[in-house]
Amino acid sequence: MIRTIVVGVDRVAPNGDTANKIGTYQLAITARYHGCQFIVAAPTTSVDLYTKSGADIVIEERDEAEILVQTGFERQGVLEGRLKRVEVQVAPVGTRAWNPSFDVTPAELISAMDGQYLANKQINVQYAFKKDAKGERHGLAAEQLLAAQAQKNDRTL
């Protein structure tokens, strides 16, 4: 029986929303449905202090041909001892496709974040979430990073 799902992350917003490869959001929903922990392994370098939430994360879109066209070899098309490579459209003509590289997982579906915290020295911390006075969720990791950044700025002034 699966009790925990652990995934990596490409970007973490300060409110705890994350962006990662397509399928991560599905895993988070699956974990919630089955009562499993959903943990994000997030290095501090993935925290984007300038993006308020997952809704603000710009998602790269890939070419729709990656979905609509497949590449293969002709079964009978041997040219000079080589197979002939061909592209075949597998969707009806006129079909369009949306092909995002990442999906966004809302913080509400994340049980915890585990990663690293860099200040004066590197130590491992368990990231959790808390709500501020407005009821917005914030990852403690982001708050720690902001505090560390403020301390660093104070020292460099």
> Which candidate in 10, 48, 114, 132 is catalytic?
10
10 catalytic? Reply is: yes
Closest by CA to 113, choosing from 12, 24, 23, 3, is: 12
The Cα–Cα gap between 27 and 31 comes to 6
Q: Which two tokens stand for residue 56?
A: 């603000």
SS3 content of the chain, % helix, strand, coil (to 5): 25, 40, 35
Residues taking part in catalysis: 10
